[in-house]
Structures are given as C-alpha cells and as structure tokens.
Structure 1
Amino acid sequence: MGEKIAISLKNISKCYKRYASPGDRLKEILLPGKSHSQEFWALQDISLDVAKGETLGVIGQNGSGKSTLLQIIAGTLTPTTGEINVKGRVSALLELGSGFNPEFTGRQNVFFNGQILGLSRAEIGAKFDKIASFAEIGDFMEEPVKTYSSGMFVRLAFSVAINVNPEVLIVDESLAVGDGIFVHRCMAKIRDFQDAGGTILFVSHDIGSISRLCSKALWINKGLIVDSGKPPEVCKHYQGWVHEEVNKRHQVNNAALQQDTTEVPESVEIDVCKITNKQLNTFTKKPYIAFSSFERFGTGRAEINGISVLGADNKPLKLAYPGDVIKIRVSTFIHDNVRKPNVGIALVDRLRTVLSGWSTELIDLNFGNDWLSKSQNGTTIIEFEIVWPHLTGDTYAIDIAFADGSNDSNEMLDWIQNATVIQSATNEIVHGLIQLSSTKVRLCEELLCTN
C-alpha cells in the first residue's frame, strides 16, 4: 500500500448466516455437512482507497452496509473475503456505547478503551483530565455508564476517540444524539483533526454535513458501491434516488391512477434554457421533459415546464445584489388528478447545502385550492417573490420541486436539481456565507453610568 494511502480495501465482502429458527442453528452444529441457513451478503466486492488526510463521507439508507463497512475498517468485524490494509491508529465512534462496559465507571472505560487502542496506562493518565474536561459529565465520570443518558454516552465516547491521538477517525451517526452545543464542539474538533492531516470516515444521513465536511463521498446500497466522487454530486444523485423510491411506494398504493399516453412535442423553448424530452418511467408512458445537463426525478403525473428568474422590472435577471427584488416564475402542467399541488423552491450553494427554501404550502395553506380552481387547461404559473439576501459573491443554484401533498408527506411529481443559477454580487466584504442585514454597533454609555 502506497505511503499516501491510509485505508485500502480490495474485494471486501461480508456474509452473515440467517436461520429460520434456533433449531436450524443447532442442527447445523450437531449435524455438520448440511447447511440449514440462508446467506445474507451485507457487503459485496467492495474495493476502495482512502488517501491520508482525506475525509470520506458514506451515505445510504439503513441496512445498506455502511456500518458493516466501518466495523471492518475499525477491526471489530472480519470480512468473509477480501483484503484490508489500514495504516495508523484507528479510533472509532460506532454504535452508541460500543466498546464500553456498562458495569464499568466512566473513568474505568476511559482507561479500558485507551488500552484497546494501544496506549499505556501512563499515556491515558496524562490525557485523562483533557478527556474529562471535553466530555463535561462531571461527577458521573465515577458512575457506571449504564446510568448515563444517550447524550452523556456520546460525550464520553467522542472525547476518548478524538483525544487518543488517532490517525484514522471513524464516526458513525453517533453525534446525532448530542445536544446542539456539544455537536458544534465536536465539529470544531473534527475540523482541527482535518487541519492536522488526519483521515476521517464519516457516516451521516445529513447530506449537508457530508457536502461541507467531506472531501469525497461514497454511496452504498444493498452492500454495493452505487456512486463515489465529489460530495455535492454524489449527494445529489442519492437525493434523487430517495425521491424515486418514495414515489414507487405511492404508485403501488395508488392503483386508481390512470395511464396517459398523450404525445408532447420533442422540445420546447422557455426563457432560461432549452429543454428536451427524456422518458421518465413506465407509469405515465409520457415523454419526460428534462433540462439539458441537469437532473430531475418524479412520477411525471405533473411537471414543471417553464422557469424564469426576473428582476423587479420583470426582465430576465442573472446577477443579483443584496436587497434586489427577485421573481421566480414556475410554469406547471398537470397531466393527471393532483389532490394537493405544492411547489417548492430551494436556494443551494455549490456544495448543495440548502440555504433557504419556500413552498406554496408554507406561504399559504389554501394556495393549493386556489390553484386547482384557477388552473387553465392543466397549466398554472406561480410566482415567488423574494428579496435577495446579503450573500458572499458566488454562484447559487435553485432547485424546484412539484409535489402532490404536504411538505411532510407527498408524492414527488417533478423535482429539478440545479434548475437555474443566480450569480450573487456584493460591494462589501462578506465574512462567512451570509451578512446579516440591519447590523448596528454602538457604545453603551448609559450602562457604564449605571454601573
């Protein structure tokens, strides 16, 4: 394995045996030679290299094999087949409380875990005050960890994991149960670890965290690598797949919906860009209009067939200054019965982090009823009007989604990622991502007098 590679996996697979009953397991033990089990392959032929100093984000639905992969890298599981090489000390924060003995006190578990990671008692003792200070669990350090809340568990586990000088840090969703203040402290520690050249494997369902924290992303489904590469792109593909899976369930549960074979033109021209047809699925049998070079997902029972970004003067706009009035017009066409139409817009940065979002339901709960009553032959044009925020100068994208249902529960009819872009301009330096408006500073002389 090269000097620049921290983790190397070659053709890693993991198989578990599943038994219909405890009796089948016993039969296999007492009567060797005949299998009474079914094979379940949690991972299949995974090959992967993680460079030193790289932060790899791993995404995928529950049961996809993410945790199994991390446990194999951490050394707590042995692969069925394949070869694994890891350079350096690995510190893993996996399932909540894994590696902790519930009967031991917090102090005892600190020493126990430190020794497992290869530190001497003297080395752990030298770090103990730092670990205890970061964990902030006070006198509970001398209590059995079985008395800890989930948040206290995470505090101590993360404090041990980050303070034992690891070269590879593995974090598996555990921070989700921490309180807001502690999560911010953890993220600051992780940033410090990255700056020091540490290698991180980070599992999360929060694609915003994956996009901002990671230098590379990996999407696993059913034990297979589906996609890998730049986090914004991988997360975008994963988001689309999730919506498609949700829509499949809607289709199965909605047998009353009828197929529509109406023909539509091969291409149309709109204000922003040229769009061409793409077959969506076999549900509506309708050619699906897709924005060139962009991705979209949905059942196709209704679609977004026009988008334009305008200024206050109703002229096309591509460059926005803080305070500018921006109008985003969305043209929709309904092919089939839609119970509760709901259009939403999300403003995202180049890392696919959602900065803000609006929807017709959030703005007006009765908007859907008005929509259905005033729709002209299935076509409706909706206009969102916003005041452009004081963002740092950069290019921002707009996602547009058309759903049937509420924001919490819906069928995704059409969702276009990066439907259009807006260039943000500013005449002032913006520290961070956004500059708050109406910020003031003054000397509180009256307070000095009263004190």
Structure 2
Amino acid sequence: MCSDIAVQTAHLSKSYHIYDTPRDRLWQLLSRGKKHFYREFWALQDVSLTLRKGETVGIIGRNGSGKSTLLQLICGTLSATSGSIHSHGRVAALLELGSGFNHDFTGRENVYMNGAVLGLSRAEIDARFAQITDFANIGDFIDQPTKTYSSGMLVRLAFAVAVCVQPDILIVDEALAVGDASFQFKCLNRLEALTQQGTTLLFVSHDMGMVKRFCNRVIYLREGRVRASGSPEEMAELYLLEMRDEQRRWASGGAVPVAPKAFLDKQGGIAFGTDEGHIVAACFTNTDSLYSSFVYGETIQICIQAQVRDTIELPSISVTIQEARLLVIGGANLPLQMEAAHDGWRKATITVHFPAALSAGKYHITLKLMNGHSEETAQLIEKQVALLAFDTLPGTKDFLGFVDLGIEAGHALQTSTLGERQ
C-alpha cells in the first residue's frame, strides 16, 4: 500500500443469513451446508475505496444503506464475507453508543481497557488520563460503573478516549448527535485540530451542514453499493434529489418523478426537479448576468423568470443565500403572481432585493421553484443549486459573523424589566 494511503478496500462485501423461523436455523445446522434454509441479505456489495492520510471523508445515505456496516468492517468489529481491507496506523472509532465499553466497569477502568485495545501501554494511558478526564468533564462519575451513565456522559467519555489517544484514523458514526451543544462545539474544534495534524477522519452523518463543513470528499451509499463519490456539495445535492424523488413519488402516486434538469449557467452545475415548471432565467439587475460584486451596504437585486403548468395551485420561489461552502445563512419563500394561462402554462417575473449587510467574501444564491408557500410542506418543481454568485467587498462597519444584525450600544430603556427584577 502506498505511503500516503490510510485505508483501502477492494470489492468489500458483507452478507447476512436471514432465517424465517428458529426451526430453519436448526435445519441449516443439521444439513451441514448441503441445503440452504435461509435468505441472503447483502448489507454491503462490492465497495472499493481509498482514503488518503489527512483526508476527511463523509459517508451519507439513507438508513439501511450500509454506512455503519462499512465502518464496522474498517474497524475490524465485523468480518467481511468477501473482499479485502488494508489500513495503516492506529484506528480509533465511535460507533454505536457505548460500544467497546464494559458497562460493569467504571469509567476509569474503561479508559484503560480502551487504551490497551488501541495499542497504548499503561504508562501512555497514564500520561493521557488527565487530558481525557478534562475533555470528558464528567466529574466523580469517572469512578462509577458506566451502566449508571446517561447517554450524554457515555458519549463524552467515549469521544474523549478516541481523540486523546492521537489516532491516525478516526471513525465516527453519528455519535456527536447525542451530546449537548457545548460539548458538540468542543468536539468539532478537536476534530478540526486533528485533521490539521494529519489524522484521517471518516464519519457518517445525516447533517449535510456538518458534511459540507468538514469533508474533502463524500461517498454516497445506496442499498449497500457506492452510488457516487465526489465533492460534499455535489453529493449532498444528489442525495437530496433522490430523497425528493421518493417524496414526490409517494405524494403523487409515482406520477411525477424528480430528475436532473438543465442548469442555467453554461459552465455547468446542479439542477433537478419535475416537468411541472421551469426557472426560465435569473440575473443580477446591475450586471444582467449570473455574477456580480457589491460593496457593504449596497442593495443586491435579482430578477427571476419562471413558468409552471396551470395545474400548479400555489407557485412560489425560494431564494437561499449561502456562503462559499453552500451553508445557508438566510433566505425567504416568496409567492409568485402568475400571468394568465396560455397553452397550459402560466408565467411570472419577480424581483427580489436585500441589503449587502454581509462580511467580505464570496456568496451563492440557490433558487427553488415550488408548489406551496411553506418549506416544510411545499412540493419541489425545480432547484437550481448556487445558480448566482456574488462577492461582497469590505466596508467601514465592523461586526462578527456573516451577517450584520445591526447590533449597537445604546441607553437603557426607561422602563427596564431588568430593573424591575432587581
């Protein structure tokens, strides 16, 4: 294996035997393999991938797609039915909550046991023990059996052990979803520090924001196979496309599929939706193009043209402003005022504007044409991902974060509720 490769799998597959009744399991044992009394379920099929040292790779897919099975095979807690796995370096993992812990042991005993499993000597664990307990921050519970821990305390200790042993490869399976907000913040900072030091990070998450924030690359699994692999933004949108397709097929009885559509920028991009309508055109009004630049405080204005079939009852446009990695920082859903129907179609033009009260940097605007006025219940007709892009130049106003909320100091109100409490 090349020196820069951390993990490599080739044609990896995992099969389980499914028995309809306990009696079939007994018959299988007595038949000594001469006859099958089971059905095969392939949790993972023919997965080949390469993870390089220092790379951060996310694995996405719906429940049952084989994500956790793949991680367990890489960790060695499961044996593959066929294929091969090669890893280089110390592997630490956070899989199912509390996995690897003996719940009759105290937290302290579990720290030493897990450290030994990861290949550390007692002296090395002694040297790291204070750092582990400080990070977990569970106080005197460190000397109590872990079966008395809450789920949050359990994940705190497990994560502290995993990151404080300085692993070469760190594998995380949705474990951070259990912790509270302050602990998640601390974990994310530690993950960033580990990746900067060269640790290979492989993790499963349904949080596309976290995937976009951390990952260099994303692997999309579907029904146990690699559906696609690529940039976090592209894979997140492909995943969303297929989820939307399933939702629409369920809502419409399979009559209105969601599929890839033409992107309005000739340079290429991601667009998908149904044949019920189209975003015909969009542009910044000051440049008449898909790109523009603004100074802090100027007004950003875009013009959007759309058409929908006359059967669409609540046509609307969703405008989402995103930062460079397509993390959402704001937006709005706006109803469309349609023209009279012509040949089964209705057209509309809408102008949208908002202030460039943003920090200096590059931003994107994603447009969605929908049937409905609520993001939660509307049916997608078309989505043009990051269709428009603009830069903001620094102004004289100093503020924190992406958006200037207009926070200012001022005099206390005459009728202060704080004063009343005192």
Q: Structure 2 length normalisation: TM-score?
A: 0.87
Q: Return the alpha-carbon distance in structure 1 between the equivalents of residues 396 and 361 of structure 2.
A: 9
Q: Distance in 1 between matches of 2:29 and 2:250?
A: 41
Secondary structure, aligned partner of 1:318: strand
Counterpart position of 2:340? 376
- CA shift digits 1:73-114 (9 cap, x unpaired): 111111111111111110001111111222222222212211
Post-superposition offset of 1:207: 1.9
How far apart, CA to CA, are the structure 2 residues paired with 1:290 and 1:434?
27
Amino acid at match of 2:392: S
Question: What's the counterpart of residue 127 of structure 1?
Answer: 128
Shift in Å, 1:35: 0.9
Classify the secondary structure of the residue corresponding to 1:376: coil
Which of 399, 402, 423 is residue 366 of structure 2 equivalent to?
399
**What's the counterpart of residue 13 of structure 1?**
13
Aligned to 1:265: none
Contact in 2 for aligned 1:325/1:387 (Cα 8 Å): yes
Whether 2:327 is the aligned partner of 1:353: answer yes
Query: 383-392 vs 196-205, which deviates more?
Result: 383-392
TM-superposed CA distance for 1:280, in Å, is 7.1
Q: CA 1:239–1:392 in 2, change beyond 3 Å: closer, same or farther?
A: farther
Q: Does the aligned pair in 2 maintain the 1:115–1:121 contact within 8 Å?
A: yes
Name 1:215's counterpart in structure 2: 216
Given that 2:318 and 2:369 are in contact with CA atoms closer than 8 Å, whether structure 1 keeps it comes out as yes
Q: Quick one: distance in 1 between partners of 2:400 and 2:244?
A: 32
Match of 1:47 in 2: 48
Give the SS at the match of 2:11.
Answer: strand
2:278 aligns with: 303
CA contact (8 A) 1:321 1:424 kept: yes
Match of 1:397, SS? strand
| Number of residue-to-residue matches in the alignment | 401
Q: CA deviation at 1:144?
A: 2.3
- Structure 2 match to 1:107: 108
Contact 2:308 2:315 in 1 (8 A): no
Any gaps of 5 or more consecutive residues in structure 2?
411-422
Task: State the 1:161 CA deviation.
Answer: 0.6
Moved more, 97-106 or 169-178: 97-106
Distance 1:171 1:321, change over 3 A: same
Q: How many Å apart are 1:149 and its aligned residue?
A: 1.9
Question: Retained in 2: the 8 A contact 1:280–1:288?
Answer: no
SS in 1 for 2:316: strand
Shift, 1:288, TM fit: 6.3
Give the CA deviation at 1:246: 2.1
Partner deviation per Cα, 1:191-227 (whole Å, 9 max, x = no partner): 1111211111121112222222122221111111122
RMSD of aligned alpha carbons: 2.7
**Residue in 1 aligned with 2:318?**
344
Give deviations 1:343-394, integer Å, cap 9, x for gaps: 211112332222222112xxxxxx57xx4xx643222223322112222232
**Correspondence for 1:28:** 28
1:103 partner SS: coil
TM-score normalised by the chain length of structure 1: 0.82
- What is the SS of the residue equivalent to 1:78? coil
Equivalent residue number for residue 196 of structure 2: 195
Distance in 1, Cα, partners of 2:104 & 2:236: 41
- Aligned-residue offset at 1:432: 7.8
Per-residue deviation, residues 108-161 of structure 1 (Å, max 9, x unmatched): 221221121122233223322211111111122222222222211111110011
For 2:129 and 2:370, the matched residues in 1 are separated by 53
Confirm whether residue 178 of structure 1 aligns to residue 148 of structure 2: no
User: What residue is the counterpart of 1:422 in the other structure?
Assistant: 390
What is the CA-CA distance between 1:240 and the residue it aligns to?
Answer: 2.4
My pick for the range that moved more, 74-83 or 136-145, is 136-145
What is the match of residue 3 of structure 2?
3
Q: Which amino acid aligns with 1:412?
A: L
How far apart are 1:24 and its partner, in Å? 1.6
Q: Which moved more, 1:220-229 or 1:290-299?
A: 290-299
**Aligned 1:171-320 pairs, distance under 5 A:** 171-252=172-253, 290-291=263-264, 292=266, 293-311=268-286, 318-320=292-294
> Distance between the aligned counterparts of 1:86 and 1:315, measured in 2?
52
CA contact (8 A) 1:14 1:81 kept: yes
Amino acid at match of 1:137: I
Rounded Cα–Cα distance in structure 2 between residues aligned with 1:358 and 1:47? 41
SS of the residue 2:253 aligns to: helix
Q: Which runs of 5+ in 1 are unaligned?
A: 258-278, 282-286, 361-366, 443-451
Report the CA distance between 1:329 and its aligned residue: 2.7
